[in-house]
Amino acid sequence: PKIDLQGFWKFKIDNENTGEENGWYKGLESEDIIYVPASWNEQNPKWDQFSGIAWYQKDLFVSNDNGNRKAWMVFEGAGYITKLWINGEYGGTHEGSFTQFKFPIKLKVNEFNKIVVKIDNTPSPYNLPPARDLNNAAFDFFNYGGIHRPVYIEFVDECHVEDITVYTKSYGHLKVEILSECNQRFSLRFKLVDKEGRVILNEESSNEVFEKDVNNVIPWSPDNPYLYTLIVEMYVGGNLKDSVYERIGFRDVEVKDGKIYLNGKPIFLKGFGRHEDFPILGKFTYGAVLVRDFYLMRKIGANSFRTSHYPYSNEHLDLADEMGFLVILEPPLCYSNISRVMSQEEIAKMFGDVKYFEKVRDTIKEMIRQHKNRPSVIMYSVMNEPPSDIREVAEFIRREVELFKSLDSSRPVTFASHRSVRDLALEYVDVISLNYYHGWYTEWGDIDSGVKVVAIELEEIHKKFPEKPIIITEFGADAIYGLHSDPPQMWSEEYQSEMIRKYIEALREKDYIVGFHIWNFADFRTPQNPSRTILNRKGIFTRDRQPKLAAKVVEELFKNKLRS
């Protein structure tokens, strides 16, 4: 059982951070109203530019039936720092905006409970991702704050399944590892149900590791994203205490001889870097928006995206599982403009700091724990655009790759580099991912010269790492919707389409390239700044998902000019 806390909450900004002294954690006297889930910024013009400390509060009446059960308050994503109190009692603190976390709570029955949440999204160089202030961030997207993903209270029995990890192979191999909490003797039952509702496996075991070859499974793939439901039931003395449902797919991923193989067949990634960003909702992507996005991606022949630059919501990735998209999952580690935040020495110091690595490790652990059972997630990108021409940073990436492999050895690992031939960390990854903007930030106004530079650098990298497949994880140009120009000039819809077309046409014959991700699927909000016009306009769709000229061009390229 679950109590959804979606809806209207009380809200108050705490510029001076005196709320704790003033006892706001006992309950909030405020007239201001906010909606959850959604970022706070666009819900009221007064809050638009606000990054800092704010308080949320809701009264919740809980009836008797849930009285004696163990309860959790689950946040699917809130931040940057979230602190909870229930009836004035401190419940926990969590750092990081984009991973799910939960706090154990005690509720009073048959009376109101005061739920109070303090959120602090003050920019800091040691946040993930780093920023000095609102306008000097290492990342190129708006620093939204708030409870921007679903939040709910979940009740469980003292004896329950805490976590499950599923490994599959396309031929039908299934391995399930259970993490349980129970101080009595229990038994487990494993069931596998196909799409038609047929129970194709039903076995009891007292072992927390369950392994089995299932006959005649339908493998998961973009063409046929067939999902099974795995049910794990926990019994104590014959009584059902807990049951967990997980949607799984039978598939395997392997990198060898310069290719990525899914279920033994080479794949070619066609798609986008995306963002979770929508007018008014901020960092909450409403289900209907996601459905439109995925149908748009499918219409133009895309089969893949990267969760740039943070792990996406459960619903976002549920849809990828369901509709057969190949996902590169990325933690909230984005360092594109790190030089705006700190000096070279500070960068070397931060990446060499054990405490920093531990913070990164905790976030990565949370991300993998949340999304590890998704068939759509075929690869991890350990970070975006690190300053990996610095030795200490390359060493950090080496250790990070090691960490990913120790947590999940079933998926290949990459990172999105913008250092190209100067990168010192390419040797550590299974797949090389490169972001290029020649013809936009450099060689600007001259797409042909830009493309030439990219082609030359790619050859050099390929010569050095002939066995590693390469994905172009970012390329693109800003275009203002409705701005046209002949000949194509920067910021026009024509320039954007030409740039995407020329990159793909010039590079598609290189057989070591195994994917193109266009930057970006849709325009998204950035801090105001003379060169950004509030939005990053590299979307081939506008922020409200209307097609620019490039959408047609990309459809033609994805469907007719690229391998599938």
Per CB under 6 A, residues contacting ligand ADA are: 140, 309, 336, 384-385, 418, 435, 474, 519, 536, 538
Choice between 34 and 382, CB closer to ligand ADA = 382
How far apart are CB 448 and ligand ADA at their closest, in Å? 21
Residue 385 a catalytic site member: yes
- 21: its two tokens: 């002294």
Single-letter amino acid, residue 526: T
Cα gap 442→440, rounded to integer Å: 6
Give 186 or 380: the residue with its C-beta nearer to ligand ADA.
380
Report, in Å, the least distance between residue 254 CB and ligand ADA. 27
Distances (CA, A) of 451 to 269, 469, 503, 506, 552: 20, 20, 6, 7, 21
Query: Whose Cβ is closer to ligand ADA: residue 275's or residue 468's?
Result: 275
User: Which is it for the CA torsion 479, 484, 489, 495, positive or negative?
Assistant: positive
Nearer to ligand ADA, 321 or 474 (CB): 474
Structure tokens at 406: 């120790």
Put the strands of the sheet holding 265-266 in their side by side order: 253-256, 259-262, 265-266
1: which residues sit within 8 A by CB, 6+ positions away?
Answer: 66, 69, 154, 155
Category of 528 on φ-ψ map: left (φ > 0), alpha (ψ -120 to 50) or beta:
beta
Q: How far is the CB of 185 from ligand ADA (least distance, A)?
A: 52
**Residue of closest CB approach to ligand ADA:** 140
Do strands 413-417 and 432-435 pair parallel, antiparallel, or not at all (unpaired)? parallel
With respect to ligand ADA, which residue has the nearer C-beta, 285 or 336? Answer: 336
Nearest to 350 by CA among 117, 132, 40, 118: 132
Smallest separation, CB 121 to ligand ADA (Å): 18
Contact 168, 174 (CB under 8 A): yes
Which one is catalytic: 76, 366, 385, 494?
385
Residue 44 CB, shortest distance to ligand ADA, in Å, is 27
Q: Please state the φ and ψ torsions of residue 262, each to the nearest 5 degrees.
A: -110, 120
CA distance 243 to 232: 6
Using the minimum distance from each CB to ligand ADA, give the nearer residue, 418 or 438. Answer: 418
Q: Give the residue with the Cβ less far from ligand ADA, 363 or 526.
A: 526
Nearest distance, CB of residue 275 and ligand ADA, angstroms = 8
Distance CA 146, CA 75 (A): 11
Taking each helix axis as running N to C, give the angle between helix 287-299 and helix 314-323, from 0 to 180 degrees, rounded to the nearest 10.
40
Cis ω before 387 (30° cut-off from 0): no
Closest separation between CB of residue 557 and ligand ADA, Å? Answer: 20
Name beta bridge partners: 57. 10, 116
Give the Cβ contact number of residue 68 at 10 Å: 10
Smaller CB distance to ligand ADA: residue 83 or 418?
418
The rounded radius of gyration (Å) of the Cα atoms in the chain is 24
370/364 Cα distance (integer angstroms)? 10
CA distances from residue 217 to 170, 191, 230 in whole angstroms, order as listed: 8, 14, 13
From the list 76, 400, 474, 494, the catalytic residue is 474
At 144, list the tokens.
Answer: 């939204």
Q: How far is the CB of 531 from ligand ADA (least distance, A)?
A: 10
State which residue, 267 or 416, has the beta carbon closest to ligand ADA: 416
Q: Is the dihedral of CA 277, 75, 18, 13 positive or negative?
A: positive
Annotated catalytic, 254? no
Convert 78-119 into a string of H (helix), E (strand) and C (coil): CECEEEEEECCEEEEEEECCCCCEEEEECCCCCCEEEEEEEE
* Position 496, amino acid: Q
Q: Please choose, from the candidates 431, 412, 435, 414, the residue with its C-alpha nearest in 3D space to the C-alpha of residue 514.
A: 431
User: Is residue 359 helix, strand or coil?
Assistant: helix
CB of 99 to ligand ADA, least distance (A): 19
Cross-strand bridge partners of residue 189: 204, 233
Q: Output the smallest distance, CB 220 to ligand ADA, in A.
A: 29
> Active-site residues: which are they?
385, 474
